[in-house]
């Protein structure tokens, strides 16, 4: 079972977190079920960038992003080559190290 390591984030998980994930789960779903409330203003429909994350290790194990995700990522704050929308990136069979950016571009804010 692959492990996901979420690096420390000042607000969402100050101490970081290491959890197990099922292959096929999205990074966002793994985070949410483990108490890391990554914003997802479009309700996981690949229509915003609020769930942007950077996969620091294990990026190559993920399926490639599609054109829609790439178009959305172009609008993300702090875009990096290993950036993904956590609602679209599905865990494969390798461990991942995930960084949640400090800021997001958000026009519609949800209250969690």
Cα-Cα end-to-end distance for the chain: 29
**Whether 63 contacts 26, CB under 8 Å:** no
Domain containing 68: what range? 6-16+26-87
The tens-digit pLDDT sequence of the chain (112 residues) is 999 999 999 999 999 999 999 999 999 999 999 999 999 999 999 999 999 999 999 999 999 999 999 999 999 989 999 999 999 999 999 999 999 998 776 533 444 4
Q: What is the pTM of this model?
A: 0.91
Tally of domains within the chain: 1
Q: Give whole-number Cα distances, 10 to 5, 43, 48, 98, in Å.
A: 15, 23, 22, 14
CATH of the domain at 11: 3.10.20.30
48, burial (CB in 10 Å: exposed 0-12, middle 13-18, buried 19+): buried
Would 35 be classed as within a structural domain?
yes
Q: Is 104 inside any structural domain?
A: no
DSSP helix/strand/coil, 70: helix
């Amino acid at each position: 079972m692959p492990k996901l390591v979420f690096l420390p984030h000042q607000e969402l998980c100050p101490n970081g977190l290491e959890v197990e994930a099922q292959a096929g789960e999205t990074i966002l779903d793994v985070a949410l079920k483990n108490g890391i409330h990554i914003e997802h203003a479009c309700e996981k429909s690949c229509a915003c960038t609020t769930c942007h994350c950077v996969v620091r290790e294990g990026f190559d194990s993920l399926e490639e992003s599609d054109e829609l995700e790439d178009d959305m990522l172009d609008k993300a704050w702090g875009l990096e080559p290993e950036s993904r929308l956590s609602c679209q990136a599905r865990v494969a069979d390798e461990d991942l190290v995930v960084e949640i950016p400090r800021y997001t571009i958000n026009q519609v804010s949800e209250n969690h």
